[in-house]
A and B are shown apart, each in its own frame.
Chain A
């Protein structure tokens, strides 16, 4: 009994002393900065930045060989904290999110043939260029779902759907999609053409209910010429788009999605002083009126961009729905102190 206790205690002591010495002699020197930064990087090891792991990226950050923007996954808060720790410049990014440019759920599309092969989009694409009637749309076999490290994209009714909350824009789905229909759009771009078909309208109509048929109605209604046509497909020029959603309302097949809104028609009340600011700012030329007289909005021309609402300084423009019911009250007058802010800064 006693022998056993003494032996075990002895072994314990020897091991403890050995370990204690080893921990000092063989200690790995870690830069405390790296430790701090490693705490803040996402820690999902997605590889989007090109480094093997998030730790490796943290080391590169501290060493100054990697930029803080290279990680697409990190939140702005974490970015700001790291910038503070490392004392480097940091500008807020406009966080992008993945957008699937197709709305072809099973109910909307025709199939070319019955597909019986392996359940992978990339493999299906090898068999007669895919089994969907449309050669450009989502195949819905979920390669993007399987590759996503954040559980942010799922196939629902044969169509990949992005969960914007979870998406970090790491771009893995963009790379894996054999039909290249996933793009990264900034989240403040709220209007998207959700179709990738480069076929002519007649062909698109034959295979899909919700595809772009190249009718160009969107081009005609866009007040700021922010839609261009290429390969029978409408494309939004994000730098020009004012998010009014007029194109989405005009699209006969519903292939343009407006996530912004709701959008209302502008209506000018008696507070109008006739300053003409709204008429000058209106991109659609829907507001008319003489200087110093009450202005009027042509409801048919109004594209519901709310630009006039934003610029009016006299509490004179309300936003109404189709029935004329006021949905948003006029913007209150700016207080005198702040009214000094220059106009240019607002736009």
Chain B
């Protein structure tokens, strides 16, 4: 079954430079920087202090609210201090600085045992304990997503292996190298929600992954692999749900409003590790790529590793770098220092030279409508940008500025190089601030 294509969208050059490079573990750094905020929600509360010895996988900060997540030490060694350090989000946030003793002395993991018979509650507790958050980039705590309020029953779960961002290949490699982990993770989520039906969405530009996953799901009749057309942002939650179920999430709603739940394949593999092995989330696959590195690679990286080491592992920069982006080119965040650490949501690291990331002055809008055609949410980016530019935030709100998913399709297609997403993000921030004020 292939659902209907979502409206809008664009097709940027795919540039999957590292698609054929097997994942290799990056040597564990001598020092890791682990932020207290690696998820959306309240920062975790430290349970160890500067000077304390920690083991690999030991809980070092616990979730401090319903929407929050546990954090575990990615190395064994000594916590040097907790202090503000550069965070991928672009500001200084409190981080553990942990000196690695090189022993990788791990705490004893306690697996849940026979999960197919376990209570959903116990499974959610195991996922919560392991500090798992959405690893596609949004970093929403997974245990919260798996505990929808009773008025929103979930009937469809979708594994997101679309990876529609250009350059990124971490999910692709994960599906090729560990398809069983992904599948088992999906089945655990289905068990939690009491479902016998699940989808795995993969874009058609990954035929090897589609074939392999199809082979693996043959024994599990409830799971179906969807080969989706290549179109950005196919991997966005709302667009993926539409493709799989033809359901449209109402404005301001969440997937649970239409009975759906989407989990990134990386998150599913982590869920499986948490449940089957009792292993907390302390490492992830990161694609280090871009025209400006010598050898694009996929690395298995401990959380808290400075991105400088990742760039070195990819052979270093071959030209003076113009931009280093955490995430993909469409939605990633440009970094102003190479000292920021890898966090739970870091799917890729993109290093671009001046040729790929030129500085272009924005010109006047020529009313061509490319942004309107490209918008997957059916908005009018040019109009929104104009309203925000004129400080008319009430009108921008009425024109649906808050529905923007910031996918970047409009700015990508704009021949005048207008920074549409930036204007709209500015508008969203102002509208939210005004709502708070009341």
Contact = CB atoms under 8 A, between A and B. Distances in A.
Interface of A: 112-114, 116-118, 120, 122-123, 126-129, 135, 146-147
Interface string B330-370: 00011010000000000000000000000100100000000
A114 B334 CA distance: 11
B90 interface: yes
Contacts of B359: 114, 116
A254 B177 CA distance: 62
Contacts of A127: 90, 334, 422
A129 B426 contact: no
Given A123-B425, A128-B336, A118 B419 contact: yes
B115 interface: no
B429 interface: yes
A148 B425 CA distance: 24
Contacts, number: 39
A198 to B, nearest CB: 12
Given A112-B336, A123-B422, A129 B91 contact: yes
Interface in B403-430: 419, 422-423, 425-426, 429-430
A293 B246 CA distance: 99
Given A117-B422, A123-B422, A127-B90, 9 more contacts: A114-B359, A118-B389, A123-B423, A123-B425, A126-B425, A127-B422, A128-B89, A146-B391, A147-B391
B436 to A, nearest CB: 14
Contact of B422 (A112, A114, A118, A135): A118
Given A112-B336, A116-B359, A117-B419, A126 B91 contact: no
27 contacts: A112-B336, A113-B334, A113-B336, A116-B359, A117-B419, A118-B389, A118-B422, A118-B426, A120-B426, A122-B426, A122-B430, A123-B422, A123-B425, A123-B426, A126-B425, A127-B334, A127-B422, A128-B89, A128-B90, A128-B91, A128-B333, A128-B334, A129-B90, A129-B91, A135-B91, A146-B391, A147-B391
Nearest to B362: A118
Contacts of B419: 117-118
Contacts of A146: 391
A258 B345 CA distance: 50
A227 to B, nearest CB: 27
A117 to B, nearest CB: 5
Contacts of A126: 422, 425-426, 429
A106 B91 CA distance: 22
Nearest to A123: B426
A147 to B, nearest CB: 8
Contacts of B430: 122
Interface in B11-62: none
Contact of A122 (B91, B333, B362, B429): B429
Interface pairs A-B: 4 shortest CB-CB:
A128-B90, A123-B426, A113-B336, A129-B91
Contacts of A123: 422-423, 425-426
Interface string B229-267: 000000000000000000000000000000000000000
Contacts of B425: 123, 126
A167 B429 CA distance: 29
Nearest to B358: A116
A120 B430 CA distance: 12
Contacts of A147: 391
A17 B391 CA distance: 47
Nearest to B428: A126
B437 to A, nearest CB: 10
B322 to A, nearest CB: 9
Nearest to B418: A118
Contacts of B89: 128
Contacts of A113: 334, 336
Q: Which of A123, A127, A135 has the most CB of B within 10 A?
A: A123
Contacts of B334: 113, 127-128
A146 B426 CA distance: 16
Nearest to A147: B391
A122 B433 CA distance: 12
Nearest to B91: A129
A122 B359 CA distance: 21
A233 B429 CA distance: 29
A199 to B, nearest CB: 10
Interface in B75-104: 89-91
A235 to B, nearest CB: 23
A116 B323 CA distance: 12
Contacts of A118: 362, 389, 419, 422-423, 426
Nearest to A131: B336
A116 B429 CA distance: 19
A137 to B, nearest CB: 15
A255 B419 CA distance: 36
Contacts of A129: 90-91
A310 B429 CA distance: 54
A126 B425 CA distance: 8
Nearest to A176: B391
Contacts of A114: 359
A128 B332 CA distance: 12
B323 to A, nearest CB: 10
A118 B336 CA distance: 18
Contacts of B362: 118
A295 B90 CA distance: 61
Nearest to B333: A128
Residue from the set B89, B419, B426 with the largest chain A CB neighbour count within 10 Å: B426
Contacts of B389: 118
Nearest to A129: B91
A135 B91 CA distance: 9
Contacts of B429: 122, 126
Interface in B374-422: 389, 391, 419, 422
